[in-house]
Each structure stands twice: as structure tokens, then as C-alpha cells.
Amino acid sequence: MYKTVFVKPGNKGWGVGLTLTPTEKMNKVVSVTGGGIHPVAQQIADLTGGIACDGFKNQIPEDETLCAVIDCGGTARIGVYPMKRIPTVDILPSSPSGPLSKHITEDIFVSGVRPEDVALVEHSDLEERQMAAIDHAHKSDAASAAATEKIVTKQEGRESDEEFKERYSKLKENHAEQQAKKDSFLVRFSRGIGGVMSTFYQSGRDAVDMLLKNIIPFMAFISMIVGIINYTGIGDWLAKVLSPLAGSLPGMIVLSLVCSIPILSPILGPGAVISQVI
């Protein structure tokens, strides 16, 4: 019996979360994270009763893929699975970017996910979580291929919650032992470097985005206002009226009050234009 999980965005992650429910045909959790099966992919597989697969070693059909777990910081790979309408879980706190960014939407993508961000969904609040996530995960009628790298034994029929919890705890212990043996120093090192580079890349992208959307338009606005004031002669009038105030403490207080007037502040850029004129 398969279970439903809700994958929420992690710290500084993007998206509203995904609700994942496997079926007999669509039950593979594909891990594309630099080799091996990532703990997030294994957590999703363990909780849902699905099968975690290494995407680099196995070719998983799209109609059998429940979701894809990636570690892309914002290049081409981040949009490959969303373009195919496959629910995508990014372990890095990435946002839509790259040449395929138009395909990355909240109903199909979530980022910054850690193993603790994956939780079982009870039937009572399933509808509420689905309303928040708006999950449009694809469904297909194609024939199911043989299971590859079967880590979680497929359960047929119904099982009680106690049996499921007992099976999950055993599988979690076995996976921890296998993962400790399987993860080499090179794999851990590459994941660490990938995380650092992704953080730098995201920081640079945020800085450029802030520069283009806020700083440069504000500079252009102030330059235009200063040019209009100087061209119309208002600047000379302001200089004659306000220059005497700039030479004393009471005058500076009056200037600060003028610059803080609610009507003038948004227009003058909190005194920037007046200071240029004076």
C-alpha cells in the first residue's frame, strides 16, 4: 500500500511544496545528484513505499517516474524534468533560472529540500495540502517496466500503520548502513563543492537581480529629477531658499523635516535631490 507525502521547500527554498502519491505504474524516485541515492530521494521512497533509483546508472522511463531529485544550482539541468512535467525536488535553494526557466512552476518544482522536509500526509488533511501545492503530477497508462535497484520491497495489499512504521524503521537503518559504505570521499567532496558553488552562484544572481531591478532604476530616476530641476531653474530657487539653512544646526533640522514629508519623500528619494542641489 503506497503512502502520500508532502515535500515542502527548505530554508531559503523556492516553491509551495509538492504532494506525491505513487501508483503501481509510477513509483520510481530518480536521484540525479552526482552518483548514488541522495538521502532526500531515499526518504521520499521510504515514506511512500516507492523505489529509489540512481538516475546516472539506470534509464527510468518518464511514465514510471514519481519525481526527480536533483542538485542543480540554476543551469540547464534544473529545467529538464519540469519541462517534461515531472515533479522535481532540488536539494539546493535554487529559483527558476537558466534557458528552461519558463517551465519551472510552483506546481511542479520545489527547492532547498532536506530529508526532514519530507513528511507523510494523513488522509484528513490531504485535500488541504493539495490545495496549497496544486499538484499537477502527470499520470500515464503505459506498461510498467521491471523495477531497477529495488531498495524498498514493494508491498501488495493493505498494511497497518504499525507494520508500515516497523518496515520503515528497518529500511532506514539498512539504508544508513549501505549509504555509509557506498559514499566515498570523492562523492562527499563533490557534493560539498557543489553546495558551495551553488551558494556563490545564487548570491551572484541575487546581487545582479537587485542591481537591475532596484539600484539602476533608482539612479536613473534621481538623475532625471535632478536634470529637470536644473533645466527649469527650480534648482537655483531651491538653492537660494535652502542654502542658508544648511549652515546651522536648526537649519539642518528643518531640512530633515522637509525631506521627511510623506508627499516629498517618495518623489525626492529621501532628500537625495535636495542635497545635490544644495
pLDDT tens-digit series, residues 140-188: 344 443 443 443 444 444 456 666 666 666 766 666 566 555 556 666 6
> 28 and 152: one domain?
yes
Strands 88-90 and 65-70: parallel
Q: Do residues 71 and 31 touch, judged by C-beta distance below 8 A?
A: no
Q: What is the pLDDT of residue 174?
A: 66
67 is an active site residue: no
Domain end call among 160, 183, 206: 183
Grid coordinates in use for 273? 535631490
The model scores a pTM over 0.85: no
Please state, for a pLDDT cut of 70, what percent of the chain lies above it: 67
> 234 and 151: one domain?
no
Please state, for a pLDDT cut of 90, what percent of the chain lies above it: 24
Domain end call among 146, 166, 183: 183
Would you say residue 198 has pLDDT above 80?
no
> 170 and 196: one domain?
no
Question: Which residues, other chains included, contact 234 with Cβ-Cβ below 8 Å and sequence gap of 6+?
Answer: 228
> 179 and 197: one domain?
no
> 208 and 150: one domain?
no
Would you say residue 42 has pLDDT above 50?
yes
> 75 and 201: one domain?
no
Domain range holding 221?
A: 192-277
> 133 and 201: one domain?
no
Q: Per-residue confidence at 139, pLDDT binned at 50, 70, 90?
A: very low
> 179 and 196: one domain?
no
Instruction: Please give the mean pLDDT across all residues of the chain.
Output: 75
Q: What's the CA gap between 141 and 164, in Å, rounded?
A: 28
Q: What's the CA gap between 68 and 77, in Å, rounded?
A: 11
Number of folded domains that form the chain: 2
Would you say residue 191 has pLDDT above 70?
no
Lowest model confidence (mean pLDDT) among 28-37, 74-83, 235-244, 246-255 = 235-244
The better pLDDT of the pair 78, 138 is held by 78
Domain end call among 159, 183, 207: 183
> 196 and 270: one domain?
yes
> 96 and 152: one domain?
yes
> 130 and 251: one domain?
no
Catalytic residue among 53, 67, 72, 259: 72
The 3-state secondary structure of 77-127, one letter per residue: HHHHHHHCCCCEEECCCCCCCCCCHHHCCCCCEEECCCHHHEEECCHHHHH
> 203 and 169: one domain?
no
Query: Which DSSP symbol is given to 57?
Result: T
Highest mean pLDDT among 101-110, 166-175, 230-239: 101-110
Would you say residue 135 has pLDDT above 70?
no
Question: Which residues, other chains included, contact 54 with Cβ-Cβ below 8 Å and sequence gap of 6+?
Answer: 31, 35, 36, 37, 149
Lowest model confidence (mean pLDDT) among 40-44, 70-74, 92-96 = 70-74
Q: Per-residue confidence at 219, pLDDT binned at 50, 70, 90?
A: confident
Would you say residue 133 has pLDDT above 70?
no
